[in-house]
Amino acid sequence: MNDRLAHLEDEADILRSEIRNKNDLALKDALTGVYNRAGYDERTKELYARWQRTGAALSIVFVDCNKFKEINDTYGHTAGDLVLVKVSDVLQGRARASDIVCRYGGDEFVILLPDTHIQGAEVFARSACDEVLNAGFNDSGKPLDVSISCGVTELITGDTLESAIGRADEAMYQAKKMDGVKVSVVK
């Protein structure tokens, strides 16, 4: 009886692991390994509810890869994929365990930074821009001009998640017009 129980417990552990792995596949972007939109939707609901309940700071960084279409058209989709992977690696490397990094659209990422005021989110964005600029992207030894633009905002009273994302997205478009490190902060 004990052997049978032990065997059933082992099978249950294997099934739980398989469920976790399949759930991860459903919530993660296959190329970059960061959350996809489904994962974003699931995780942001938790963070938004926490923000509403506690009033703790919650900032958003909206990231766009500059000249991404040009990279795809000139060097091919494989080079574009490498850019996306490297940018997501930079963003994940800068993020804390509590932060949410998501591939929001084709070449756009959103990072939610709980317990972070707008000044801290700006520091995150500037350091990510610097790191991407200095990452040394190349295609078979030919340097690629890769940079990102970041829009930064913090949730404020009366915000919905959508209104804050819209503000960060708008700030990102302002950042695209800048030279050098492209970070625009909107309160």
Q: Which of 112, 103, 129 is nearest to 35 (CA)?
A: 103
Go through 93-114 and write b for each residue having 16 or more CB atoms within 10 A of its CB, e for each that does not.
ebbeeebbbbbbeebbbbbbbb
Cβ(124)–Cβ(93) under 8 Å? Answer: no
The two counts, helices (H) then strands (E), for the chain are: 6, 7
Q: Is 115 a catalytic residue?
A: no
Question: What pairs with residue 65 in β-bridges?
Answer: 148
Annotated catalytic residue within 29, 99, 107, 169: 107
**Per-residue exposure over 1-13, b if at least 16 CB sit within 10 Å of its own CB, e if not:** eeeeeeeeeeeee
The whole-angstrom separation of Cα 14 and Cα 20 is: 10
Tell me the catalytic residues: 107
